[in-house]
Amino acid sequence: MKVLRIPVCAGLLLLTAVPALAADVPAPETVCTVKDSRLNELSGLVSDGKQWYAINDGGTKIQVFVLGRDCAVKKVISNPTDPFDVEDLARASDGTLWLSDTGDNKKARETVALHAVTPAGKSTLYRLSYPDGQHDTEALLLDKKGVPYLITKDILGEAKIYRPSGELQSPGPTPLEKVGSLKIQATDTPGSPVGSFGSVLVTGAASTVDGTVIAVRTYTDAYLYSAPDGDVVAALKRQPVRVPLPNEKQGEAIAFEPDGTLLSGSEGVGEPIRAVAGAAGLVTPSSASSPAGESSSASGSPDSSGVPVGPAIAIAVAVAAGGVFGVSKLRRRRS
């Protein structure tokens, strides 16, 4: 399958990810089950090769749960800072944990934020402002230089990509700039809280330790992109490999182990952390020279592994999404 690229204006591209699927993608296997009631809304996950770091969606203070390979909580890194809506987690090369405080279900926030948290619990706040209004964002990537990229969650499947327009300032806000869009078509992978519509909603992102492979996930699938030079924008123009993550109740967490194993997890106590061994190796070096093809439009066009997302389905998505964004997300939020 191809990734279709549509020029929209100078410097910006609409990247339509028609689901690609490697013939030999292994099925995810359960590693362990999250049983700790404190981690009931797993939303972000990273690995340092020895242990995992996990965050809940939301909360009234910063908490990063340090997990063993049995999913048991070994300790909690805490800071009294009260975030608004934490949605994803990334880990820098120096061990700093970056919390993406970017959820905005009601599109009411004047700014979003990143929290840089040291292993000792010291936290630095960086506020960010979008150039074009509010967005609900659940995916965070750090490139090889440590530059953060935010990928929005859009009910029509057109995820927008932003990065800071300059050096991060604390507390800020630092203006964001839009550098592209990623349009994902629906697939028939089972799972998600909103049925097949969940397959177009971006809920998390991750990169390998060396930054050469990037993963963007929806409720049902992960898309792996080659980034040989660590360039996030260039990577997302390439043809991805689709890795189905079926039957996750509300799959939002995604991470890479240092050996290239892909990890995924869902909100909910009793949900498993699953692994796709060797996933990073599914993205071959040749895919680095496989840019997206040109097309005037790709939304609403079906393919062998997905279903169309047209105007009628878009309306249904908006209605169905109310179950996720209007009901399950009813929790305390600060402005």
Round the CA-based radius of gyration of the chain to a whole number and report it. 18
Sign, Cα dihedral of 170, 152, 281, 289:
negative
pLDDT, one tens digit for every residue, the chain (335 residues):
333 332 333 344 444 444 456 667 899 999 999 999 999 999 999 999 999 999 999 789 999 999 999 999 999 999 999 999 999 999 999 999 999 999 999 999 999 999 999 999 999 999 999 999 999 999 999 999 999 999 999 988 789 999 999 999 999 999 999 999 998 989 999 998 888 789 999 999 999 999 999 999 999 999 999 999 999 999 998 999 999 999 999 999 999 999 999 999 999 999 999 999 999 999 976 555 555 533 222 232 333 333 334 443 444 444 444 445 443 443 444 43
Give the start-end residues of each E strand in 191-328.
Answer: 202-207, 213-218, 221-226, 241-244, 251-256, 262-266, 272-276, 293-294, 306-307
Structure tokens at 88: 């994803």
In this structure, are residues 181 and 159 in contact, taking their beta carbons and an 8 Å threshold? yes
**At CB < 8 A and 24+ separation, what contacts does 74-77 make?**
76/38, 77/53, 77/117, 77/119, 77/120, 77/121
Structure tokens at 112: 């979003």
In this structure, are residues 157 and 186 in contact, taking their beta carbons and an 8 Å threshold? yes
Report the amino acid identity of residue 262. L
**Length reported for the chain:** 335
In this structure, are residues 44 and 54 in contact, taking their beta carbons and an 8 Å threshold? yes
Neighbours of 146 (CB within 10 A): 14
